[in-house]
Chain A
Amino acid sequence: MKTFMLALFMMCATSLYSAEGLKVGDNAIDFSLKNIDGSMVSLSDYAKGNGVVVIFTCNHCPFSIAYEERIINLHNAFVSKGYPVLAINPNDPVSVPEDSFEKMIERSKEKNFPFNYVIDETQSIARQYGATRTPHVFLLKKQSNNAFTVAYIGAIDDNHSDVASVKQTYLSNAIDALIAQKSPAPESTKAIGCSIKWKK
């Protein structure tokens, strides 16, 4: 009986754990999400590269806006090295009309986004990945079997308000580490951001 209770507890603990989302080293979950050009985008579309810089972000959040230029620059710096950015908007447009699909198209045109910007309409990808805020980065590395694993989770850098004062470029350091066949250190960081607006 004791063993049974323990097993039950372990099961609950495990399910709670997985509800927290992906950890560094986990296999990335594939998806099929609608891009601003109307096409569907999946991780498997990136099989020719070396990884994907998945960033949960959105239109309205001041932190996302503060990082827009930096995200564009990151993409431009790393796309030729096989690490393109894939931006995912997870927000409920009922709660934030500025984050609707139409507004995503507008924003990407205004800013000339050089990367795919997809919508997570059911929010299930944000939930499965364990994204909680925008921007929230999941750097994925392609393995020899073409599957993607999580290599780094967290912040883009250490100063959202002032690019000139940035001391730690966490994300680009992590990508550089992968390019050099090393493990990113730190492998995860925290940042302040807007909470993801979940459907009510």
Chain B
Amino acid sequence: MNRIFTLFLGIFAYCSAHAQVEVVSLAKLEAVLSSSTDTVHVINFWATWCKPCIEELPYFEEAHSFYASSNVRILLVSLDMSSELERTLLPFIKKKKLQSEIVLLNEPDPNAWIDKIEPSWTGSLPATIIFNGTSKKRLFFERQITKEELFSTIQQMKE
């Protein structure tokens, strides 16, 4: 009995953890990037091993809760290796209690897809794109973003 209970618990934990992170391909991201709604999209590229990424995560979390009821979507795109999903990414999300939407981009050959996301991106992390699909305003940061920059850019894109 105990075993079955443990098994159920295991399956439950597995499913609920999985619900947090979708493994996506480039096509999914391109669909988000080509959105034409007036939602302000904040797309942050990060990884659990990237120290400056982790330092700025709280700002995205704060923006996520601050703008919860407005047209702002925060999307954290993890570039952790897909083999690290169970071992590293999910435990990290749990430990940090991250609430923003998180996906794991599983695409080989960055040379083939970096330019499709942002031509000026050289490939270093962190990197953040903030855009409004209606006004076509778009800003790209290939560096750590400050909290002020994040909030003022979102605000500017909303107007």
| Contact surface of A with B, Cβ cutoff 8 Å | 61-62, 95-96, 132-133, 154-155, 158-161, 165, 167-168, 170, 186, 189-197
Contact = CB atoms under 8 A, between A and B. Distances in A.
B139 interface: no
B123 A132 contact: yes
Interface in B58-86: 79, 81-83
The A interface, classified by DSSP as helix, strand, loop or mixed, is loop
A190 B50 contact: no
Interface of B: 47, 49-52, 79, 81-83, 108-112, 114-115, 121-126, 142-143
A194 B109 contact: no
Contacts, number: 69
B111 A194 contact: no
A133 B123 contact: yes
Contacts of B83: 161
Contacts of A186: 111
Nearest to A153: B122
Given A96-B51, A191-B123, A132 B142 contact: yes
A193 B108 contact: no
A186 B125 CA distance: 23
Contact of A194 (B112, B121, B125): B125
Contacts of A197: 51-52
Given A191-B114, A192-B79, 18 more contacts: A133-B124, A133-B125, A158-B108, A158-B111, A160-B81, A161-B82, A167-B108, A167-B109, A189-B111, A190-B115, A191-B110, A191-B123, A192-B124, A193-B123, A193-B124, A193-B125, A195-B50, A196-B124
21 contacts: A95-B51, A132-B123, A158-B111, A159-B108, A159-B109, A168-B109, A170-B111, A189-B111, A190-B111, A190-B114, A190-B123, A191-B123, A192-B79, A192-B110, A192-B123, A192-B125, A193-B125, A194-B49, A194-B50, A195-B126, A196-B124
